[in-house]
Structures are given as C-alpha cells and as structure tokens.
C-alpha cells in the first residue's frame, strides 16, 4: 500500500530480489497491479472480485438450464462449471478447502439474493466474505474481456476436428520418458560394447585409408 502521497506526481519504486528472474516476475506483477488500478479509475463500473462475479454468473446459468431441453444443457452446465474454476483456484492457492468454499459460495449466492451476489473468496481472512464491502473490486471491462477471450479460445479448440502428429517429437518424448523410468532409449543395442565400438571402428578405418 502507498500512503501519504496525495501531492506526489511521480514515484520511484526500487525492486530487490535474490535473482534476476525474481526481479522480472516482481516487475511484471507490479506493472499488472498498476495497470489494473489505472483501468479501474477509467472504468465506468466495477464488480466484486475474489471470484464473486464468476459464481454469480454460474448461478444464473444453472437456473437457465431448467428452461432448456436436449444436449444444450450439457454445454451450458460445462460453461457454468468452468466459471467456478476462478474461486476454486483462489481457495486452493490460499490453503483453503476448495470443496467447502464452493459449497458455501453456492449457498450464499442462492439464498442471499442481491446481497449474496458479492460473496467471494477472501484469501486474507481465509473465508467467504462480501468482497464489495472489503473493497476488492475489479473493472467491469476487464472481466468482460477475460470472459470473451476464454470463450473464444474454448470455441477455437472445439472447432478443431483433426490434429497432425509429429513422429520426431513423439520419439523424443518416448526417449525422455525412458530416461526417467530407467529403461534404455529405443534404437540402441543391448550390447554395451557394440554401441560404443561401432563409431570408433569406423573412424579408425577412414583414417587408415586416408594415409594419416
């Protein structure tokens, strides 16, 4: 948090770390945080963070399932389940039980009405809390862009009906897997002397013919 900077027009941030990769990661994280705050000031509306908006959208989709018949229910149900990945990941990264957190969030969003739509994962207090009252906000425009990008990526993957295999890549993966489990890579003989003696013998013959 930056405090007592009301009259400051510019600031210098000194980043420190034990290695260059840590400094680069810190710089990227700081830049993301600054850009989010900048976008929040320029945005016309904000939504509650901590996975609250995703849980509310998931609830609306599950209620919409009751009015649909056929296989489209499976598609919408899968979309609603995918939205719950955000609060589940937040709960797991903070050391909470993701199953219990999701159950509590579903209960809050289903029973509390408009007041429960802001409930999300509070990683600082390790509980389900009203994230809007906790001042955990996200710009509406960012959440819309995230949902659109994720949906377009999923549609692109589902539209692929044929894949191309790379035999060379598969062979490299098989050799790497063989080294991990201790087995011999394919293409090498069982005899230890044959694998080492072949190239050296050919090299001596070529030297003899060249007169060196």
Q: pLDDT tens across 108-133, in order?
A: 888 866 677 889 999 888 889 888 88
Residue 147 burial (10 A CB sphere; 0-12, 13-18, 19+): middle
Handedness of CA 89, 92, 96, 97 (dihedral sign): positive
Length of the chain in terms of residues written? 212
| For residues 74-93, average pLDDT | 91
pLDDT of 200 reads: 47
**What's the token pair of residue 165?**
């295999």
Rounded Cα distance between 99 and 90, Å, is 12
Q: pLDDT tens across 147-159, in order?
A: 999 999 989 988 8
List 139's β-bridge partners, or say none: 46
Q: pLDDT tens across 153-188, in order?
A: 989 988 887 777 777 777 777 787 777 666 554 554
Model pTM score: 0.62
**Domain range list for the chain:** 15-44, 47-158
CATH class of 47-158: mainly alpha
Per DSSP, the residues of 128-158 read: EEETTTTT-EEEHHHHHHHHHHHHHHHHHHH
Rounded percentage of the chain residues whose pLDDT exceeds 70: 81
Rg, C-alpha atoms of the chain: 28
pLDDT at 212 over 70: no
pLDDT of 69 reads: 84
Q: pLDDT averaged over the chain? A: 80
């Amino acid at each position: 948090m930056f405090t007592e900077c009301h009259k400051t027009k510019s600031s210098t941030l000194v980043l420190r770390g034990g290695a260059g990769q840590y400094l680069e990661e810190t710089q990227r994280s700081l830049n993301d945080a600054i850009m989010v705050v900048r976008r929040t000031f320029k945005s016309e509306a904000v939504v509650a963070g901590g996975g609250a908006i995703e849980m509310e959208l998931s609830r609306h989709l599950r209620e919409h399932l009751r009015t649909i018949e056929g296989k489209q229910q499976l598609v919408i149900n899968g979309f609603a389940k995918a939205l719950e990945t955000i609060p589940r990941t937040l709960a797991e990264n903070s050391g909470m039980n993701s199953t219990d957190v999701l159950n509590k969030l579903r209960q809050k969003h289903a029973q509390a009405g408009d007041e429960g739509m802001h409930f999300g994962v509070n990683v600082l207090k390790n509980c389900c809390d009203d994230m809007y009252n906790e001042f955990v906000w996200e710009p509406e425009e960012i959440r819309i862009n995230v949902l659109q990008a994720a949906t377009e990526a999923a549609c692109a993957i589902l539209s692929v009906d044929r894949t191309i295999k790379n035999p060379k890549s598969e062979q490299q993966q098989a050799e790497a897997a063989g080294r991990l489990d201790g087995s011999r890579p394919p293409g090498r003989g069982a005899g230890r002397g044959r694998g080492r003696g072949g190239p050296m013998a050919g090299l001596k013959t070529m030297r003899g013919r060249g007169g060196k």
